């Protein structure tokens, strides 16, 4: 009876495709059923948000743009909770079964730092005159203000000026030179001539320009927009200390995987990354003020 369905290659192909479609449907239905059961037995989106608020120390009333979505990530069911409070953006992974914080990311949205503020002059006029155009216009105006002298008049003026200069006879010139030569005193052979290489006592020493510590890029010191009024970086050791204090850990209990100075979209920051067991801590710290701009704790 079964052989009759596979009697021809065409029938065999049709039966195989139908079988695969049925299996795919059963698999999809099974996944959907498991997801539905997991979501129905979970803590729920509202409670997941409350767990995130509690961990962040944020009053639920002050939170805005709150989103809580049920997801399946890295082999587990979670609620992905996002919200904003006090110009800070929070992203959380909350375990759907019991509310455990799996992962969180905190980012400062608005950071006021006068060292990096630059004056920007906006313009909305597409036809505004640029500096090169202004220079060309000034040159043209200046050239137009100078009257052109006719070519013949210029030759005549040159000839008149040449004629006004009297020629000195050759014999008179030699006599004048001989009369002037005795007036030049001779330098005795035993005269004390100071070496030219000795510096004058009145010449001040050249100023020494401090470009900052060797582990910090010289470009930031030479760029007044980033450097402000001569201010420098807090240093790698201080950046590490700030990250450890915020995490409540000591340097002896962690393993650093990244400690470097970097430029992040025009902001000079220290990137600090360390581990405690399987938990990863990742910090982004302002290189001038020491403010924590962003940090992430990953327990996944």
For the stretch 161-184, pLDDT in tens is: 556 556 655 566 566 556 655 555
Angle in degrees, CA 182, 187, 188, rounded to 5: 120
The CATH number that domain 218-298 falls under is: 3.10.450.40
pLDDT tens string 4-37: 555 566 666 676 777 777 766 666 656 677 788 8
**What is the Cα–Cα distance from 48 to 101, expressed in whole angstroms?**
9
At residue 45, the pLDDT reads 93
Sorting pLDDT into bands at 50, 70 and 90, what band is 119? Answer: very low
Question: pLDDT: is 262 or 152 the higher one?
Answer: 262
Among 20, 30, 46, 74, which Cα is nearest to 299's?
Answer: 74
Contact predicate 275/289, CB 8 Å: no
**First-to-final CA distance of the chain:** 54
pTM for the whole structure: 0.51
pLDDT tens string 227-285: 444 458 999 999 999 999 999 999 999 999 999 999 888 889 999 999 999 999 999 99
Highest mean pLDDT, choosing among 13-22, 75-84, 113-122 = 75-84
Predicted confidence (pLDDT) at residue 64 exceeds the cutoff of 80: yes
At residue 126, the pLDDT reads 40
Question: pLDDT: is 54 or 135 the higher one?
Answer: 54
Tokens of 65: 């743009």
Domain 45-108 has CATH 3.40.50.300: no
């Amino acid at each position: 009876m079964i052989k009759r369905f596979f009697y021809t290659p065409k029938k065999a192909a049709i039966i195989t495709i139908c079988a695969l479609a049925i299996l795919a449907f059963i698999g999809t239905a099974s996944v959907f059923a498991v997801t539905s059961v997991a979501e129905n037995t979970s803590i729920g989106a509202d409670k997941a948000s409350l767990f995130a608020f509690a961990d962040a120390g944020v009053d639920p009333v002050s939170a805005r743009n709150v989103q809580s979505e049920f997801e399946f990530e890295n082999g587990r069911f979670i609620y992905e909770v996002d919200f904003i409070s006090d110009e800070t953006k929070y992203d959380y992974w909350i375990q759907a079964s019991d509310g455990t914080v799996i992962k969180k990311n905190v980012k400062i949205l608005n950071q006021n730092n006068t060292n990096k503020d630059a004056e920007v002059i906006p313009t909305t006029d597409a036809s505004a005159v640029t500096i090169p155009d202004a220079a060309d216009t000034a040159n043209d105006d200046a050239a137009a203000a100078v009257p052109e002298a006719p070519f013949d008049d210029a030759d005549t003026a040159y000839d008149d000026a040449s004629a006004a200069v009297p020629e000195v006879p050759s014999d008179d010139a030699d006599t004048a030179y001989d009369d002037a030569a005795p007036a030049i005193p001779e330098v005795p052979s035993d005269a004390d001539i100071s070496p030219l290489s000795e510096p004058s006592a009145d010449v001040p020493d050249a100023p020494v320009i401090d470009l900052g510590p060797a582990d910090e890029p010289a470009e930031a010191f030479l760029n007044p927009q980033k450097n402000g009024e001569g201010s420098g970086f807090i240093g790698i050791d201080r950046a590490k200390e700030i990250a450890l204090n915020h995490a409540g850990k000591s340097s002896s209990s962690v393993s650093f995987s990244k400690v470097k100075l970097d430029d992040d979209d025009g902001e000079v920051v220290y990137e600090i990354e360390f581990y405690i067991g399987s938990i990863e801590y990742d910090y982004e710290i302002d290189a001038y003020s020491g403010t924590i701009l962003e940090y992430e704790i990953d327990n996944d």
